[in-house]
Chain A
């Protein structure tokens, strides 16, 4: 089945540690996105990418980094510079009008 796979489902980060969230899609979509969702809130855009080796900052990119070495993959690194990383992270891809989402990763601080 085609879809978007995010892993892991749950992730814990120690102080000062970088962690990487995986996002893989087999939908052959060009555009991919990372969003952050805090409890009771909507989605805020972190980074997005239209093509391989190109990506743009969203509204809350500070403390995050991404790469797009393959069309299928768009990993997000939460760096130690992100002081409040506890949130639910959603990856999405799109072609033409509609976005499709993965099941998300819940990141918590130890």
Chain B
């Protein structure tokens, strides 16, 4: 069975510092994708970053980077130079192999990040 685990219910970080949000996953699929989403208090899900299981380089998107350690089955999100606007809920998600042509996605329980001024 596929599973995403986020063990940090809440995190604090000082403005301008870096923060790492943890995510571990479990899957028997050889091909899969890992995602991070940001959910502000308004509720919308904002796509941040994607890592494919065959990608050798860690994904980066501006201040976001994904620390992908395949052997450890971890896909931690690193936010550099935190800003007050980064305060939100962050979800790790995984897309497994397609079944009948359709991908299913599973989500972790999220980490609430609060950036302190």
Point out residues on A near B: beta carbons under 8 Å: 31, 33, 35, 40-45, 48-51, 56, 58, 88, 90, 92, 94, 97-104, 106
Q: Which of B37, B103, B108, B109 contacts A31 (CB 8 A)?
A: B103
Q: Is the interface of B mostly helix, strand, loop or mixed?
A: strand
Complex interface: chain B residues within 8 A of A40 (CB)? 109-110
Query: With the chains together, A49 CA to B101 CA distance in Å?
Result: 10
* B110 to A, closest residue via Cβ: A42
Cross-chain contact of B43 among A45, A50, A104 (Cβ < 8 A): A104
- Pick from B12-20, B44-52, B74-82 the stretch touching chain A: B44-52
Minimum CB–CB distance from A24 to chain B (whole Å) comes to 16
Instruction: List residues of B whose CB falls within 8 A of some A CB.
Output: 4, 33, 35, 37, 42-45, 47, 50, 52, 91, 93, 95, 100-110
Nearest chain B CB to A2 CB, angstrom units: 14
Show 22 A/B contacts (Cβ-Cβ < 8 Å), sorted by A: A31-B103, A40-B109, A41-B110, A42-B108, A42-B109, A42-B110, A43-B45, A43-B93, A45-B104, A48-B104, A92-B45, A97-B52, A97-B95, A98-B47, A99-B47, A99-B95, A100-B47, A101-B44, A101-B47, A103-B43, A104-B43, A106-B43
